[in-house]
Amino acid sequence: MESLIKRFKKAILNFRHGRVLFITSSVFALVYHLAFLITFKLLGVTQMYYFNFISVAVYIFISLRSFKMKNVIPYYFLCFAEVVVHQILADYYLGGDAEFHYFILLVGLLPALSFGKRIKLASVLVTVSVILFLVIEANAAFIFPIYFIEFKKIVVIRIVNIGCVAFVISASLLMYAYIVLHVEDNLEEQVKQKTKKIVKLQDHTIDSLANLVENRDIDTGDHIKRTSAYVNLLALKAYENMVYPKVIDWKFVELITRVAPLHDIGKIVVPDSILKKPGKLTDEEYNTMKMHTTEGVRIIKEIFSMTEDNEYVKMAMDVAGYHHEFWDGRGYPNGLKGDQIPVSARIMAIADVFDALVSVRCYKKAIPVEDAFKILKEEERIHFDPILTEIFLQNKDAVIKILNKEMSL
């Protein structure tokens, strides 16, 4: 969780929240002018009273028009022009020490945070504002009021001025607090919801692809369901035992469980005459069958080319492309060995072979579960990662439970 200060900085520097400054300044302008409308009326400063009366009317009209048009630029120019005129009149009637000069600088900085991609326009306005502020501020000491106003009245005006400034600062902080603590949190929630929809869409795509495989080979369809369950079990136990901690974390467990159904997606391109052949495959047929690994990578890359979840796509390709690699380097398609094989593919290999051993296939009968476990043990350091194999064998009861559950469905 980011600190409150960092979140405030993000909100203030975020162009999307620039309009909040204008909302704040609009409220401030109205409160400010109304306050001085009453103040000047009570003090008898008629010239400033009428100026504020006109300002209130113009502000209300322009503000409503600007926000109706969803264009804050006209409102900004009104705000800037009014502040400059107000400054000139304040100096003219109240003297150069009226302490309103900094409003020019404040309003001049608004476009820097509010004009979005209009960088050039914002830069020009900021520059003009700063120069104007410096010129007026430098000459403020030499300006004297043309009409005499009692010092007591000047004090009252300054107190009202300070009160209005305090109000706008408080209002601004409250509005930004609302943004930081509510709007930003809602935005994060929207991002989470969008991510969930993307994940749901990806999972639906996986299920659809897996169903394509299942429609061609019923055994393969059941195989997909069981291997996914075995993969989840093995990955979870590896995570709990801190095996390969730099690779296997909670996100890894989630991802490999989701991509596991895609490991045999490349079999879509394998002809039925080979995929469903009851006997032993010839060398040529076997080479064609082996193509399902590289074809699986190609299919996944094409289907998910537009997704931004690179980790998801990478793991899906690793599982599809390397789940037939051997620990000793005699596997296919690339002859990888040991740590060269992605951890996800090593997990998939154990789940894939175990299920193939205990399942009926068109070319073989199922073997007893205990015999399958013995074969996995014998193939440690030959076919399978020895550490992951041991974890799988240590959880025989859970594996058998998955097998019985899926077989009974």
- Among candidate residues 152, 267, 365, 374, the one labeled active-site is 267
User: Residue 217: its pLDDT value, please?
Assistant: 58
> How high does pLDDT run on average in the chain?
78
pLDDT at 396 over 80: yes
Q: How far apart are CA 57 and CA 34, in angstroms?
A: 10
Tell me the mean pLDDT in the region 238-265.
93
More confident residue, 185 or 375: 375
**pTM for the whole structure:** 0.56
Tell me the mean pLDDT in the region 134-149.
70
Dihedral pair phi/psi, residue 172, rounded to 5°: -65, -45
User: Residue 233: its pLDDT value, please?
Assistant: 97
Percent of the chain predicted with pLDDT > 90? 33
pLDDT at 383 over 50: yes
Percent of the chain predicted with pLDDT > 70? 60
Q: How confident is the model at residue 1 (pLDDT cuts 50, 70, 90)?
A: very low
pLDDT at 48 over 50: yes
User: Residue 82: its pLDDT value, please?
Assistant: 67
**Exposure string (b/e) for 109-130, b if CB count within 10 Å is 16 or more?**
bbbbbbbeeeeeebeebbeebe
Tell me the mean pLDDT in the region 78-87.
69
What's the distance, Cα to Cα, between the start and end of the chain in Å? 44
User: Residue 12: its pLDDT value, please?
Assistant: 47
Active site residue 251: no
More confident residue, 66 or 266: 266
Length of the chain in residues, anyone? Answer: 409
Lowest mean pLDDT, pick from 148-152, 210-214, 291-295, 377-381: 210-214
pLDDT at 86 over 90: no
Question: How far lies 241's CA from each of 234, 236, 237, 238, 246, in Å?
Answer: 11, 9, 6, 5, 13
- Structure tokens that stand for 212 in this block: 């394509």
Dmax (CA) for the chain in angstroms is 113
Question: How far lies 279's CA from each of 118, 272, 275, 284, 332, in Å?
Answer: 71, 13, 11, 14, 21
Degrees to nearest 5, angle at CA 404 with 401 and 409: 125
Tell me the mean pLDDT in the region 126-146.
74
Burial class (CB in 10 A: 0-12, 13-18, 19+), 242: exposed
Burial class (CB in 10 A: 0-12, 13-18, 19+), 108: buried
Q: How confident is the model at residue 50 (pLDDT cuts 50, 70, 90)?
A: confident
